[in-house]
Amino acid sequence: MAGVGSACLAIALLTALYAVAASIRGARTGRREWVTSGRRAMYCMAGLCVGAFVILEAAFLRSDFSYRLVAEGSSTDTPTFYKVTAVWATQDGSLLLWATLLSLFATAVLFLTRRSLRDIAPWATAVLGVVAAFFLCLMLGWENPFDTLAVAPQEGAGLNPLLRHPAMMIHPPMLYTGYVGFSIPFAFAIGALITRHTGADWIRATRRFALIAWTFLGAGIMLGALWSYTELGWGGYWAWDPVENASLMPWLVGTAFLHSIMVQEKRGMLKVWNASLICATFVLALLGTFLVRSGILDSIHAFGASTIGVQMLVFIACVIALSAGLIVARLPDLRSEAKLDSLLSREAFFLLNNLVLVGLCLVIMWGTFFPLISEALTGTEASVGPPWFDRLTTPLAIVLVLLTGIGPVLAWRRVTPRSMLRILRAPVTATGFAVVALLAFTDAAKSLPSLLMFSFVAFVLVVVAQEFWRGTRARRVMTGESWPRALARLTGRNRRRYGGFLAHAGIAVLFLGVAASSAFIQQRDVRLSPGDTVKVGDYKVTYERATAKLGGDSGGTGAPISLGAVMRVQRGGESYILRPSRNYYSTTDPSKGVISRFFDGEATSEVDVRWGLRRDFWLAVRPDLVSLEKPIARADRRFADSPGQVQAVVIQALTELYRQDPPPAAFRAIVSPLVTWIWIGGAIAVLGALVAAWPSPEARLRRVRSLYAARLGRELSRA
């Protein structure tokens, strides 16, 4: 079957190239049949990619170790969920996922626009075909997922234990859906530039795709942060690592794009800005895909160049050159249709918000690429750490949250100043009360940035609540409906507006969590023996006893050995138990003894967190195996040739030895206030985005009716 899979990819590549050629031919000669043929070729390509993906998944599910990928990334004892998701844990598999998602999205958008955008769609098809062809080329030329091994091993290497966490396995598909989603508006923007149809049509057709991409990318980023918080042993959710930044940058620019296209839709302004933004978003999405798997920042986090780094760099350079060249060449067609009437308008504030978002992106880009910049400018390679990122992004983030609150209050074109003051009275007063309360009842004054952030978050939440309330009240005046019904109808008829407000509220709540958990975190690293107690903030933590479990950890990751601790946490009246542990996976390294193989493989920290709305209590343990070293070495010698069951009994005895008399273990305890609100805020933002993206039924009805009218006209004229 691997041959069939490879063949699928090869034919998919040829099909993509044909789609490019046919679409361009159709666009230039005006012959519709070539355009239709090109579009159908894209549909075929999607089918082929999906077919290849299914074949690969099947190989993983039946643990077919003749496939190099399955042998390297899975094993017979990997739980089924992780077998399925191990496909995209590898370079080759993730490229296939990218290509498959791209072809599916392209199919969707081309099907939806098959009758409209007659001039732009063929060029968009060609662009999407080129991108798909590039990824297929990468696979066929360098990283073929269907490579087979001459001799299939008995057992696979297994999935990296750190990846055995549900969040980490859903994280790549979500990110890729985000990156791929942004390629759709990009392709249509290029088509619009080429054909000089630079009105808002290409925006209207692809706006939903941009919104869906934004949602998935944001959710993917948050899943990555959640994984870092719950799976890694350092207790943080964001480290300003180049890989993390690589996914955040396109999201920031994508957020700016979502706002500024509204300005072009309504006023015909910012055309150059929008074209540049979507090209930048797509380039950053490619960069995000590329940074994870290349050696470009090889002094810091990508040791050793990968095999496709240069090719991706060349491709990205070509995309930048093409986009910039097109925009400059079409500048006359991108002139604004209107001018900015007043600084006190939605347009002006959207522009301001765009500047802040792009500014944030530039700061992050500077810091991420600083090793290369400093090497180029000064000859020595230097890097900046999280403190620098925090220091520079915090003021911009604070301004951003403030703008998030002002934007919803404004109207398009202009706002009457007196009305503005009246509308802002309640939110400003509420914010004032909030500040006073914070200063009086908490120690928020310790950190000025946090105080500002909290105040602005309060401002945003009151503004959004007020918008919903005033809108519902206005509707009730007109229709006399009940409060809940009026609210539902109001949101239903104005999904973009009220979905957007909901998303704003979600983002504000998210920043609340970020500010509180960064500024007021309490952390302690200690070594404890059973019976010891330590104070962390207001909490008293007691190490009651050690635990040892064989064959099946509670997290479902398939770890053979799990050593941990039972900890009692007390504060005032409340008291609960936490059970952090450490999973030990075996290694196939032949240089290790038969018993030490089980203790010297990969190990992961299984953190235990007590979630709470006000604060989280996070606990991780790192058992010290020093007292077991000699017994393990002795066991290696004595039981080197013993059968598996004997070895299992020996290992059980060793872990029992640890449990009964453990040496002091290293613990990290963290009290993070309001961390849970980060996840809650993110979920609210996603919900808001979904509301905004949902197609409204009336528009659909009218579209169907107008299609019938068109068909009637067509048929009448033919008769």
Partner 1 sequence: MDPSRKRKIRLAAALAAAVCLASVLAYTSFSAASEAAKPSELREGHSYEVTGKVVDGSIARAGNELRFRIRDRDGSKSVPVTYTGSVPDPFREGREVIVSGELKRGMFVADRDSLVTKCPSKFTKQEQSS
Partner 2 sequence: MEYALALLVLAALVAVVVARPLMRRGDEERLESGRIQELSAAKEAKYREIRDAELDHQMGKLSREDWRSVDRDLRGEAIVILRELDRLEGRQPDGVEGPA
The secondary structure of 514-569 as a DSSP string is: HHHHHHS-EEEEEEE-TT-EEEETTEEEEEEEEEEEES--TTSS--SEEEEEEEEE
Show contacts with partner 1 in window 255-294 (CB under 8 A).
Answer: 292-293
170-to-27, 115, 148, 175 alpha-carbon distances in Å: 39, 35, 27, 9
Q: Is the Cβ of residue 45 or residue 287 nearer to partner 2 in the bound state?
A: 45
Q: Is the Cβ of residue 468 or residue 598 nearer to partner 2 in the bound state?
A: 468
Dihedral of CA atoms 636, 637, 638, 642 in degrees, nearest 10, equals 60
In the block, which residue shows the tokens 């040892």? 548
List 86, 110, 187, 200, residue binding partner 2 (CB under 8 A): 200
Q: How many Å from the N-terminal Cα to the C-terminal Cα in the chain? A: 53
**Shortest CB 492 distance to partner 2, Å:** 13
Q: Is 54 in the site for partner 2 (CB under 8 A)?
A: no
Nearest residue to 584 (alpha-carbon basis) of 601, 597, 596: 601
Q: Is 702 in the site for partner 2 (CB under 8 A)?
A: yes
Which residue(s) pair with 577 in the sheet?
568
Of these partners, partner 1, partner 2, none, which one is at the site of residue 162 (CB under 5 to 8 Å by kind)?
partner 1
Q: Is 622 in the site for partner 1 (CB under 8 A)?
A: yes
Q: Is 600 in the site for partner 1 (CB under 8 A)?
A: yes
**Shortest CB 204 distance to partner 2, Å:** 5
Euclidean distance between CA atoms 51 and 60, whole angstroms: 14
Structural contact between residues 562 and 623, judged by C-beta atoms closer than 8 angstroms: no
List 80, 380, 645, 717, residue binding partner 1 (CB under 8 A): 380
**Shortest CB 8 distance to partner 1, Å:** 23
In the block, which residue shows the tokens 């099907």? 111
**Shortest CB 186 distance to partner 1, Å:** 24
Q: Is 688 in the site for partner 1 (CB under 8 A)?
A: no
Of these partners, partner 1, partner 2, none, which one is at the site of residue 374 (CB under 5 to 8 Å by kind)?
partner 1
* # chain residues binding partner 1, by CB under 8 A: 57
**Shortest CB 474 distance to partner 1, Å:** 34
Structural contact between residues 90 and 72, judged by C-beta atoms closer than 8 angstroms: yes
**Shortest CB 92 distance to partner 2, Å:** 17
Q: Is 383 in the site for partner 1 (CB under 8 A)?
A: yes
454-to-149, 406, 448, 467 alpha-carbon distances in Å: 58, 15, 10, 20
List 29, 76, 416, 533, residue binding partner 2 (CB under 8 A): 416
Give the list of residues 6+ apart from residue 242 with CB closer than 8 angstroms, or none: 291, 297, 300, 301, 302, 368
DSSP state of 661: S
Find the length of the chain.
719
Of these partners, partner 1, partner 2, none, which one is at the site of residue 497 (CB under 5 to 8 Å by kind)?
partner 2
Nearest residue to 430 (alpha-carbon basis) of 452, 451, 461: 461
Q: Is 300 in the site for partner 2 (CB under 8 A)?
A: no
Q: Is 339 in the site for partner 2 (CB under 8 A)?
A: no
Of these partners, partner 1, partner 2, none, which one is at the site of residue 150 (CB under 5 to 8 Å by kind)?
none
* # chain residues binding partner 2, by CB under 8 A: 66
By CB neighbour count within 10 A (0-12 exposed, 13-18 middle, 19+ buried), where does 626 fall? Answer: exposed
Q: Is 425 in the site for partner 2 (CB under 8 A)?
A: no
Structural contact between residues 233 and 607, judged by C-beta atoms closer than 8 angstroms: yes
Take residue 719 and report the two structure tokens written for it: 């008769």
**Shortest CB 27 distance to partner 2, Å:** 14
- SS3 of residue 441 by DSSP: helix
List 381, 390, 532, 544, residue binding partner 1 (CB under 8 A): 381
Q: Which stretch binds partner 2 (CB under 8 A): 38-46, 456-464, 631-639, 652-660?
A: 38-46
Give the list of residues 6+ apart from residue 469 with CB closer than 8 angstroms, or none: none
**Shortest CB 264 distance to partner 1, Å:** 18
Nearest residue to 687 (alpha-carbon basis) of 484, 492, 497, 502: 502
List residues near partner 2 by CB under 8 A: 1, 3-4, 6-8, 10-11, 14-15, 18, 22, 32-34, 36-38, 40-41, 43-44, 48, 115-118, 200-201, 204-205, 265-266, 409-416, 418-420, 422-423, 467, 470-471, 474, 477-478, 493-494, 497, 699, 702-703, 706-707, 709-711, 713-714, 717
Binding region for partner 1 (CB under 8 A)? 89-91, 94, 160, 162-163, 232-234, 236, 239, 241, 243, 292-293, 299-303, 306, 339-340, 355, 359, 362-363, 366-367, 370-371, 374, 378, 380-388, 391-392, 525, 527, 600, 602-605, 622, 624, 626, 666, 668
